[in-house]
Amino acid sequence: MSSTGRIPSKWETIDSQNPDSQPSQPKKSLPKRKDARLGTYSSSQASSSTSKRFWNIPYISQVPNIMRPFVEDIVNVKGDGNCGFWVVARYLGMDEEDHVLVRQSLVHELRNHKSDYMPLYDTEDRYNKILNGLHPPKSRSGIASVDKWLTTPDMGHITATCYNRPVVLLTLPEKGICETYFPIRSAPPLKPQSNIMCFCLISDHYLHVILKEGCPLPPSCMEWMNNKIGEAEKWHFDFLDRQDAFNELMFKESKPPKKPTNEHNPIICGDTPTPEK
């Protein structure tokens, strides 16, 4: 499935379809998380996180099961087709209406570094389609049509590179795959784990997810692995332990149950009748 923004006509139904959610009312701004110092993942952090209650967080049921204990909060944004850009604006501590400024920044990034992105998009037509999708909608209502939605992985790399931080996508297995997008050309800053932007895809709509310190992270997007430039490779090594932790949790969850054995239920020989099944 291609990860997209949302269908405007459907956004009113999202809350009613999710009993663990709260009304879809956007907040004006979100302060920057100055205390967010993400460190190296450790099993002690995991056990501490899993011991905390998380089921009262709105929309938690839309996050993969293995990541639910590592979610600090989930915030809904306005469902007008601009939801992906609203999430970026909210994450940056901007007023949500400033999603137009986010679009303009991403357009600037893509235009000024076209040669860096062409290997990702292969053709000129694909590049132009993504560039056009980043431009603000022209309708007076501001509602974005499908061709103006934020899409991943098409724009995940642009967002990560523009703001020089990892971008994480979480979604349920039946809707797609979880991935991490790193900047494609820049080296990590001194504390690369201090800022992680996280989206959750739900019914063609993006939510803003606030992750806990040191949580596991999904594997790197394959397009990034194949097209990273120079020192950008260092991002992979800085987050390798946390991605390994994610893969380990996924393996344990998807591992089939062991077949029953007779080790603790020995066969009784003799004239004892066999119990009916």
119: in domain: yes
Q: Which residues of the chain have pLDDT under 50?
A: 1-52, 262-277
The pLDDT, as a whole number, for residue 252 is: 86
Per the structure, the complete domain to which residue 26 belongs is given by: 8-254
For position 193, what pLDDT does the model report? 83
Sign of CA dihedral 119, 123, 128, 134: negative
Has residue 144 been placed in a domain? yes
Q: pLDDT tens, 259-277?
A: 555 444 444 434 444 444 4
* Residues with Cβ within 8 Å of residue 138, at least 6 apart in sequence: none
CA distance 208 to 267: 56
Tally the domains of the chain: 1
Residue 103 lies in a domain: yes
The answer to whether residue 275 sits within a structural domain is: no
Predicted TM-score of the model (pTM): 0.75
> What is the domain-level CATH number for residue 69?
3.90.70.80
CA of residue 55 relative to chain centroid, distance? 19
